[in-house]
Chains A and B, each alone.
Chain A
């Protein structure tokens, strides 16, 4: 055994320090407790879902008796057993059922919940049910939904500047169609809730959720009780990625229902298979577009339809479409355009939030347009990219009225190209390709402008609760949840900075609806932006009171009191932070405060589809090189070079991890992760053996990553940092572009599996 590793070299406290994850030691020793690791209270029962075996059909009232007859089964719960409303809709804008009633609308739809003394008995009970379903023809593709007009909501359309006339007048006219697939979250920790009943109708839900408040609301709706009866708690998740927003809410509600019905603690943990069958995924999209440009490749007009497969119910599709259409131009400018976003209704699981939330899909559009234009004009795609960047000689305003920072787009792009030695490597790749009959190298770039804020303006708020104890230790709570993204340590750093103490003095605590109420989900990359400011407000309020006491004690003006290095000082006066806390207590001054923050300056008009919906944009650029075997379509990502704008990073170590992980997750979505439904609408990729997420060998062999230097956020973000959870996922689009380069620019649908790459090669692209 060697000594413990040395502490990180950066400043020990506060913002900007490359501190490691707060639970690092617990993770490395197995001491970190996830929901399934919590000690089970005595008498805990286990629950299992019964899922629909068909994709679409009329459902006769389910006979629960066969499950009740299974030894060990304690309760079987269907729609009739719901005391409140059988409705789990997160938006409240549609009826979305917890248990199907009368109609099943997708394979894997929950029909009932079986509660038993053991998990095995619960599963056996669920398997004993014999649902009677008269099959109806399922709609299983976006095309089929478009043909029948099956939409979940009205189209969202952004229009600008006489696009029709501009399109007709354009010297060069192009058109295209392509598609991208969905994506299973595959959080390594599956969906789980432990529901523990208390007295007089109280219930505590230990849920693996990104949105404790929504769990509280939906559980209360299903139980038919006031919100104040339901407490939701989450210390950490084993990954979320958007899959533990609305999905976690109905799973927790089902567990709550079981606990209410039996009066005993109930654990509902989905098996991987049930999880993949019953929970929503990233929306697949079909893109159809027409564009007009001039001979130099400057885009003049665009008309595009982005049709998403929303699955069988609305869920969060409105927000996903909003983000897709607002990101359809990405970092580019097109003077005249119409972008139409559609949420198609199909008989598949209801698609939901997934890191990027429609943004990654939307941002694919311009890449396809650029490649088509490159083929039509004979110009390199990167030249066209640069010619059409927003800002500079082009317009900087997005079609919905908010301005992009064109100089930052150009800067991240230039730095990425320079760092990647792009010109030289392109020449080398061309020489390589000329010399190799069967192997081809492809190079692809991508630049990004990603808007930060929730699309629903009301969600851009956060709360925090900070206590200082009389020994100077601090307890921190806020509405954000920890799923591995390092939020907890970042917010602790903010509080450490305010009090001028070591971050170790701050105790990070589980997210709970009982401590900070009415929160937004931890999503849309906003976790540290929102909760950071809220915690800053709370800590600042306490510090101001403490400064007042110190100032009085020392007879100095309050402004002269400084909090640093675990001490409070003014001139020659100095005392430990804990001593001042003790003094405040003795003088009967409160050492506890809530903090609240709402993002300023954002607004959106959903009718006009205009406004200022994002507090700021995060920029990035990436370049990838692939090596393709033209005989098999197999390929490797040889190298990736990324530049990501994090503003003034709160924690560069955490941000780097986020960027690497997001990129790889994006690469997985675009390359190897394929969801496959059979002709009857049954999902056949139900585990890691058939659904391939990136493994250690899929990492780009050379992976270079830089945080954009000297680029503090211009918006008044917490310490001028920028969000980093989602944007780098989109940077992986450069891998698609590299593959398209290798196949000669031909259409290449996503995920670009080796089969599709081979088909594109055969189609005569290269």
Chain B
């Protein structure tokens, strides 16, 4: 038995045949769509490495079944930059050295964009730390991450980009 769903992934509409109803968005992206930028850290919804934007909201792709999101719009780390032009959040992560090994970085960036979109934290570092607490970084790059999110939140607000992505 196979299932057909439609997803818009990084602005490209795609019709997909799923042979397994249990496949997660994470495995779909990584293993079938050649989009390995989204990482698998725990596969249990506990580390945030797999964070993507699903209809503008940040979700753990390892917990989201592809089948239950027919018609959804998905944005991953690979879809953030427009050509050479990086998203302000990507720029801020680079400018603030907000990573070491980089394995958590795609999830951190997507989560941060989602967080700014939620509009609850503004540029308050304390609230950014709170809002980003679901994204673990074993290398401990939290200082740079927090600084990057605060700066990008300001830049996005100034650009009228308070929306997600």
Contact = CB atoms under 8 A, between A and B. Distances in A.
B104 A188 contact: yes
29 contacts: A1-B86, A1-B88, A2-B88, A4-B91, A5-B92, A5-B94, A20-B94, A24-B99, A28-B99, A28-B109, A29-B78, A30-B78, A188-B137, A189-B101, A189-B103, A190-B41, A237-B101, A484-B102, A484-B103, A653-B97, A657-B97, A657-B144, A661-B140, A661-B141, A687-B42, A688-B46, A693-B136, A696-B132, A696-B142
B136 A697 contact: no
A646 to B, nearest CB: 16
B105 A239 contact: no
Interface string A153-188: 000000000000000000000000000000001111
Interface residues of A, number: 59
B56 interface: no
Interface in A14-43: 20-21, 23-34, 36-37, 39
Contacts of A34: 39, 103
Given A236-B101, A484-B139, A1 B129 contact: no
Interface stretch (A360-368, A409-417, A437-445, A662-670): A662-670
Interface in A268-290: 271-272
A472 interface: no
Contact of A272 (B44, B78, B88, B106): B44
Contacts of B126: 701
A486 B139 CA distance: 12
A238 B97 contact: no
B153 interface: no
Contacts of A239: 100-101, 103, 138-139
Contacts of B40: 36
A694 B36 CA distance: 26
B155 A26 contact: no
Most buried by B among A34, A189, A687: A189
B44 A188 contact: no
Given A27-B99, A28-B90, A661-B141, 11 more contacts: A2-B155, A20-B94, A27-B106, A29-B78, A36-B36, A188-B49, A239-B100, A239-B138, A271-B43, A687-B44, A689-B46
7 shortest interchain CB distances as A-B pairs: A30-B37, A484-B101, A238-B103, A27-B102, A30-B77, A661-B140, A484-B100
A695 interface: yes
A697 B103 contact: no
B100 to A, nearest CB: 3
Interface string B125-150: 01011101111111111111110000
Nearest to B100: A484
B24 interface: no
Given A657-B100, A687-B42, A29 B138 contact: no
B39 A189 contact: yes
Interface residues of B, number: 63
Contacts of A238: 39, 101-103
Interface string A646-689: 00000001001110111111000000000000000000000111
A699 interface: yes
A246 interface: no
Most buried by B among A26, A188, A657: A188
A32 B36 CA distance: 9
A271 to B, nearest CB: 7
Interface of B: 30, 34-44, 46-47, 49, 76-78, 80-82, 84-88, 90-95, 97, 99-106, 109, 126, 128-130, 132-146, 155, 159
Nearest to A653: B97
A760 B41 CA distance: 35
A190 B155 CA distance: 35
B47 A688 contact: yes
Most buried by B among A1, A657, A663: A1
B101 A28 contact: no
A660 B87 contact: no
A432 interface: no
B159 A29 contact: no
B153 to A, nearest CB: 13
Contact of A696 (B87, B102, B145): B145
Contacts, number: 179
Given A688-B136, A699-B129, A21 B102 contact: yes
A29 B102 contact: no
A21 B140 contact: no
A236 B101 CA distance: 8
A534 interface: no
A21 B100 contact: yes
Contacts of A23: 102
Contacts of A30: 35-38, 76-78, 106
A2 B91 CA distance: 9
B123 to A, nearest CB: 15
B152 to A, nearest CB: 10
A4 B86 CA distance: 7
Contact of A21 (B30, B42, B95, B99): B99
A27 B142 contact: no
B147 to A, nearest CB: 11
Contacts of A29: 37, 77-78, 80-81, 86, 90
Contacts of A694: 140, 142
Given A2-B155, A697-B133, A37 B36 contact: yes
Contact of B138 (A236, A663, A665): A665
B44 A689 contact: yes
Most buried by A among B80, B91, B101, B135: B101
Contacts of A658: 100
B158 to A, nearest CB: 9
A28 B138 contact: no
A660 B141 contact: yes
Contacts of B95: 5
A469 to B, nearest CB: 26
Interface string A27-63: 1111111101101000000000000000000000000
B73 to A, nearest CB: 18
A699 B102 CA distance: 19
Nearest to A1: B85
A36 B35 CA distance: 12
Interface string A212-247: 000000000000000000000000111101000000
B143 A660 contact: yes
A237 to B, nearest CB: 6
B143 A699 contact: yes
A28 B86 contact: yes
A177 B85 CA distance: 59
Contacts of A663: 140
B133 A25 contact: no
A189 B41 contact: yes
Most buried by A among B78, B137, B159: B137
A91 B81 CA distance: 48
Contact of B140 (A4, A190, A664): A664
A485 interface: yes
A703 interface: yes
A660 B40 CA distance: 25
Contacts of A26: 102
Nearest to B80: A29
Contacts of B101: 187-189, 236-239, 483-484
